[in-house]
């Protein structure tokens, strides 16, 4: 039986992954900010076949609480095989264009908290010689664009950090998987008009679960974003800066 | 807020409305100001009960969490956006199945309640609403009510079959029925004339759990109403495997619909003869038996851009033989008949909803490609036949019946209007509640 910790479990992508893992009979430890929603998820996942589901409230920016919740997860599930980091928030541009405080907070949630969590979990997995880290980054981290470069900068930091971490841990028992979803129809993106390229959280979840079982390094989800982002990264800056993306 | 135009399953009429998602059962209902709101499930209703032209739709599909399942008593509680197919897959391995299953598994629990759907075992189990233990109803004034046959019973009766107008169903508890596995014993008998159906059907209902007939509605004269009667019963076999995955799908809307009277005539003849050759006993999985059309994804696209209508009526037992025969003659003369006209006897178990469609008698369901006024005229003339025989048309599938016909056939509508949530409305409701 696989034991998985899910940070940001009330997010749509994490919720969809949790369902697939529940159907595979995993034991799950969920964290999120809203205890009522965690309870709804717990009941759903138990009905779907999870061996066990426990929950804890975690504000990811609270580094002391991070430590406590991780040890609680390890104790409750009697060890950990997997950790999925899926928390995040998309700052509205009205806020951070003018407010340094909003910009700092958005970076803290999307980058700093992820990096501190990864540091703790890496230490844990290394000491136990076992474990897989799955991090939800974003295609937004592949190049800074005017529409979301704060979110993109934070996700870019996460992508680089996991890249380096994967490089350091190569050859050892601990694996790192970076997932870069494109545009996904979730509560986080509820104010956007949805077009052809949008995916559902369920599609991304299938890619995440497959990436874990096949031991991939970097996964774009859906797959076509790998090629879209390749083109976007290759555009020369003198051209790119003129584009409205 | 996104501005997608959602369609109904019949892809007609067209409507334009805002779509606002509801993600959690305790989320505030969105404030829409003067715009009316309509809760919506998976949009499998054929007509305009799931449309709200000029208003807003509350997309409830993300309310798809299970709450609890008691495998000892077969009680399931879930959020209203859970699909019926997901329930079957969850509970079947533990020996339980939906007590009532409509013709597609791609409908939500909330939609099944709001349309008080029926299935091929109506003569044994009645409608879906009879197996609803309770539900939670959220209203636009911010209130949240528990409804069951004993708690808020008036609102329970108004919401079952209430077409989403009394509030937003967020959670429901339903009673399942015990089964051994996924397989059925199916028996197919062909009949050469409508009269023969009436001789066979009553006896079939006495003997079998599921019965349904398919009619070639383009056959005429001595072959009028020829068809196939299919019956099935659960096998005592603990096999819960999934059937082979479906592969077919209609990838896009066909620019010109191939559904023409000659092609349908040929298809129906081929299908009738093929099935007649295959008549007899067979072991079948419940999915192709309950949900034959689910095998072709997006099959509604074959009707092309102008979509299609489904016409479903029920005629009281005494008048049924004559009225169904008149209707089939009319359809056959008009030459605009459909694939798979479905004929079924309803039993006499009362439907719990104020506006529930089923009543004791015989129900006939037909699809018509939308050919404009010609099709509307044909259906109006069918209304007259239905009406004269004391029957009525199914609101859940309707996109065109007159306000006069609706109000006469469903006297409970006034009471529903009194109990409806003033913040909710639908294209259908505005159409049929105008002064006739």
Q: Give me the interface pTM, i.e. the ipTM.
A: 0.90
User: Please, which pLDDT band fits residue B148 given cuts at 50, 70 and 90?
Assistant: very high
Tell me which residues of chain A, numbers 167 to 226, contact chain B at a CB-CB cutoff of 8 Å. Answer: 187, 190-194
- Listed residue (B37, B77, B81) closest to B61, CA to CA: B81
Q: How far apart are CA B332 and CA B216, in angstroms?
A: 9
Report helix, strand or coil for A67: helix
Q: Is the preceding omega at residue B13 within 30 degrees of 0, hence cis? A: yes
Q: What is the pLDDT of residues A218-228, one digit of tens each?
A: 999 999 999 99
- Token look-up 């995955």 returns B245
Q: What confidence score (pLDDT) does residue B3 get?
A: 43
A43, B66: Cβ pair inside 8 Å?
yes
Q: Looking at the predicted structure, is the pLDDT value of residue A38 above 90?
A: yes
User: Rounded to a whole number, what is the distance in Å from the CA of A104 to chain B's nearest CA?
Assistant: 27
- Listed residue (B72, B47, B89) closest to B308, CA to CA: B47
Residue B160 CA, distance from chain mean position = 14
Q: How far apart are CA A70 and CA A127, in angstroms?
A: 14
Whole-number Cα distances in Å, B241 to B57, B222, B244, B287: 37, 43, 9, 11
Phi/psi for B315 (5° steps) reads -120, 130
Q: How far apart are CA A196 and CA A198, in angstroms?
A: 6
Q: How far apart are CA A135 and CA A118, in angstroms?
A: 9
CB < 8 Å & 24+ apart, contacts of A64-71: A66/A113, A66/A116, A66/A117, A66/A120, A67/A120, A69/A31, A70/A5, A70/A117, A70/A120, A70/A121, A70/A124
Q: Looking at the predicted structure, is the pLDDT value of residue A132 above 70?
A: yes
Tell me the average pLDDT of chain B: 92
- Listed residue (A88, A73, A58) closest to A3, CA to CA: A73
Q: How far apart are CA A54 and CA A39, in angstroms?
A: 9
* b (16+ CB within 10 A) / e for A182-219: bbbbbeeeeeeebeeebbebbbbbbbbbebbeeeeebb
Q: How far apart are CA B297 and CA B46, in angstroms?
A: 15
CB contact, 8 Å: A37 with chain B? Answer: yes
Give yes or no for a contact between A124 and A131, defined as CB atoms under 8 angstroms apart: yes
pLDDT (average), residues B294-317: 88
A191, B24: Cβ pair inside 8 Å?
no
Tell me which residues of chain A, numbers 135 to 154, contact chain B at a CB-CB cutoff of 8 Å. Answer: none
Q: Which H helix or E strand runs over A159?
A: helix A149-169
Question: H/E/C letters for each residue in chain B?
Answer: CECCCCCCCCCCCCCCCEEEECCCCCCCCCCCCCCCEEEECCCCCCCCCCCCCCCEEEECCCCCCEEEEECCCCEEEEECCCEHHHHHHHHHHHCEEECCCCCCCCCEHHHHHHCCCCCCCHHHHCCHHHHEEEEEEECCCCCEEEECCCCCHHHHHHHCCCCCCCCEEEEEEEEEEECCCCEEEEEEEEECCHHHHHHHHHHHHHHCCEEEEEECCCCCHHHCCCEEEEEEEECCCCCCCCCCCCCCECCCCCCCCCCCHHHHHHHHHHHHHHHHHCCEEEEEEHHHHHCHHHHCECHHHHHCCCCEEEEEEEECHHHHHHHHHHHHHHHHHHCCCCCCEEEEEECCCCCCCCCCCCCCEEEEEEEEECCCHHHHHHHHHHHHHHHHCCCEECHHHCCCCCHHHHHHHCCCHHHHHHHCCCCECCHHHHHHCCCC
Instruction: Return the sign of the alpha-carbon dihedral for residues B49, B84, B294, B315.
Output: negative
Q: What confidence score (pLDDT) does residue B2 get?
A: 41
Q: Looking at the predicted structure, is the pLDDT value of residue B337 above 70?
A: no
DSSP-derived pairing of the beta strands B341-346 and B308-315: unpaired
Q: What percent of chain B has pLDDT over 90?
A: 75
Q: How far apart are CA B105 and CA B88, in angstroms?
A: 9
Q: How far apart are CA A110 and CA A15, in angstroms?
A: 18
Q: How far apart are CA B359 and CA B124, in angstroms?
A: 13
User: Rounded to a whole number, what is the distance in Å from the CA of B326 to chain A's nearest CA?
Assistant: 48
Q: 10 Å Cβ neighbour count for B106? A: 19
CB contact, 8 Å: A43 with chain B? Answer: yes
User: Please, which pLDDT band fits residue B258 given cuts at 50, 70 and 90?
Assistant: low
Report helix, strand or coil for A32: strand
The number of helices, as runs of H, and strands, as runs of E, in chain A is 10, 7
DSSP-derived pairing of the beta strands B66-70 and B56-59: unpaired
Q: How far apart are CA B109 and CA B129, in angstroms?
A: 10
Q: Which H helix or E strand runs over A219?
A: strand A218-221
Identify from B2, B18, B26 which residue to disrupt to test chain A contact, counting A C-beta atoms within 10 A and taking the largest count.
Answer: B2
Q: How far apart are CA A121 and CA A71, in angstroms?
A: 10
Q: What is the pLDDT of residues B259-296, one digit of tens each?
A: 666 777 777 778 888 878 878 899 999 999 999 888 88
pLDDT (average), residues B395-416: 96
Among B13-22, B85-94, B120-129, where is mean pLDDT lowest? B13-22
The residues that bridge with B58 in the sheet, in sequence order, are B20, B39
User: Rounded to a whole number, what is the distance in Å from the CA of A48 to chain B's nearest CA?
Assistant: 7
Give yes or no for a contact between A169 and A176, defined as CB atoms under 8 angstroms apart: yes
Among A23-37, B236-250, B363-377, B404-418, where is mean pLDDT lowest? B236-250
Question: Which two structure tokens, joined as six digits, stand for B434?
Answer: 């105008």
- Listed residue (A205, A218, A223) closest to A21, CA to CA: A205
Report helix, strand or coil for A109: helix
User: Please, which pLDDT band fits residue B14 given cuts at 50, 70 and 90?
Assistant: confident
Q: What confidence score (pLDDT) does residue B1 get?
A: 38
Give yes or no for a contact between B381 and B402, defined as CB atoms under 8 angstroms apart: no
Question: Which two structure tokens, joined as six digits, stand for B427?
Answer: 């294209």
Q: How far apart are CA B42 and CA B85, in angstroms?
A: 12
A47, B68: Cβ pair inside 8 Å?
yes
**C-alpha count within 13 angstroms, C-beta hemisphere, residue B19:** 25
CB contact, 8 Å: B25 with chain A? Answer: yes
The residues that bridge with A6 in the sheet, in sequence order, are A30, A84
Closest Cβ–Cβ partner in A40, A187, A191 for B1: A191
Which residue from B minimizes the CA distance to A46? B68
- Burial class of A101 by CB neighbour count within 10 A (0 to 12, 13 to 18, 19+): exposed
Contacts of A191 in chain B (CB under 8 A): 1
User: Please, which pLDDT band fits residue B5 given cuts at 50, 70 and 90?
Assistant: low
Q: How far apart are CA A87 and CA A154, in angstroms?
A: 12
Q: Looking at the predicted structure, is the pLDDT value of residue B194 above 60?
A: yes
Q: What confidence score (pLDDT) does residue B301 get?
A: 84
pLDDT (average), residues A141-169: 96
A43, B26: Cβ pair inside 8 Å?
no
Q: What is the pLDDT of residues A60-86, one digit of tens each?
A: 999 999 999 999 999 999 999 999 999
Give yes or no for a contact between B72 and B38, defined as CB atoms under 8 angstroms apart: no
B90, A44: Cβ pair inside 8 Å?
no
Question: Which two structure tokens, joined as six digits, stand for B402?
Answer: 């007159």
């Amino acid at each position: 039986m696989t034991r998985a910790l899910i940070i940001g479990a009330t997010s749509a992508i994490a919720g969809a992954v949790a369902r697939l893992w529940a159907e595979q009979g995993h034991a799950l430890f969920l964290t999120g900010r809203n205890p009522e929603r965690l309870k709804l998820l717990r009941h759903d996942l138990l009905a779907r076949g999870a061996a066990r589901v426990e929950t804890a409230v975690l504000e990811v920016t609270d580094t002391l609480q991070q430590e406590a919740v991780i040890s609680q997860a390890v104790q409750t599930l009697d060890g950990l095989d997997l950790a999925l980091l899926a928390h995040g928030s998309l700052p509205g541009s009205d806020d951070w264009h003018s407010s340094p405080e909003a910009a700092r907070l958005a970076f803290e949630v999307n980058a700093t908290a992820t990096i501190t969590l990864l540091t703790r979990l890496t230490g844990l997995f290394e000491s136990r010689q076992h474990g897989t880290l799955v991090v939800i980054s974003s295609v937004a981290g592949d190049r800074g664009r005017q529409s979301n470069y704060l979110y993109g900068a934070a996700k870019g930091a996460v992508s680089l950090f996991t890249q380096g971490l994967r490089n350091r841990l190569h050859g050892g028992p601990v694996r790192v998987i970076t997932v870069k979803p494109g545009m996904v129809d979730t509560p986080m993106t509820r104010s956007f008009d949805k077009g052809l390229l949008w995916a559902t959280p369920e599609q991304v979840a299938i890619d995440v679960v497959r990436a874990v079982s096949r031991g991939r390094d970097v996964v774009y989800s859906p797959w076509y974003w790998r090629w879209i982002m390749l083109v976007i990264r290759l555009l020369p800056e003198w051209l790119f800066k003129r584009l409205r993306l | 807020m996104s501005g997608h135009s959602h369609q109904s399953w019949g892809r007609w009429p067209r409507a334009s409305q805002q779509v606002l998602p509801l993600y959690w059962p305790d989320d505030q209902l969105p404030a829409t100001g003067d715009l009316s709101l309509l809760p919506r499930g998976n949009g499998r209703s054929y007509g305009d009960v799931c449309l709200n032209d000029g208003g807003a739709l509350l997309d409830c599909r993300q309310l798809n969490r299970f709450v609890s399942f008691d495998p000892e008593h077969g009680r399931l509680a879930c959020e209203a956006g859970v699909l019926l197919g997901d329930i079957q897959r969850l509970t079947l391995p533990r020996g339980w199945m939906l007590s009532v299953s409509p013709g597609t598994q791609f409908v939500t629990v909330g939609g099944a309640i709001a349309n008080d759907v029926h299935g091929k075992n109506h003569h044994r189990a009645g409608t879906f609403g009879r197996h609803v233990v309770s539900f939670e109803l959220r209203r636009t004034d911010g209130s949240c009510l528990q409804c069951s046959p004993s708690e808020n019973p008036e609102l329970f009766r108004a919401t079952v079959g209430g077409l989403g107008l009394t509030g937003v169903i967020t959670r429901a508890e339903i009673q399942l029925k015990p089964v051994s596995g996924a397989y059925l014993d199916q028996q197919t008998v062909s009949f050469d004339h409508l009269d023969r159906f009436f001789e066979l059907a009553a006896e079939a209902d006495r003997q079998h759990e599921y019965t349904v007939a398919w009619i070639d509605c383009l056959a005429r004269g001595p072959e009028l109403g020829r068809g196939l009667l299919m019956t099935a019963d659960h096998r005592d076999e603990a096999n819960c495997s999934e059937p082979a995955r479906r592969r077919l799908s209609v990838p896009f809307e066909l620019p010109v619909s191939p559904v023409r009277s000659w092609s349908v005539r040929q298809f129906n003849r081929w299908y009738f003869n093929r099935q007649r050759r295959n008549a007899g006993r067979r072991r079948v999985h419940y999915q192709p038996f309950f949900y034959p059309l689910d095998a072709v994804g997006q099959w509604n696209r074959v009707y092309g851009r102008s979509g299609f209508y489904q016409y479903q009526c029920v005629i009281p037992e005494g008048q049924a033989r004559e009225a169904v025969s008149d209707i089939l003659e009319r359809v056959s003369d008009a030459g605009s008949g459909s694939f798979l006209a479905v004929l079924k006897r309803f039993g006499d178990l009362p439907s719990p909803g104020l506006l529930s469609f089923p009543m004791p008698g015989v129900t006939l369901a037909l699809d018509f490609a939308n050919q404009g006024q010609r099709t509307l005229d044909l259906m109006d003339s069918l209304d007259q036949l239905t009406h004269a025989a004391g029957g009525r048309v199914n609101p859940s599938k309707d996109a065109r019946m007159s306000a006069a016909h609706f109000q006469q056939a469903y006297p409970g509508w006034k009471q529903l209007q009194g109990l409806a949530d003033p913040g909710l409305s639908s294209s259908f409701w505005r159409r049929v509640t105008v002064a006739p």
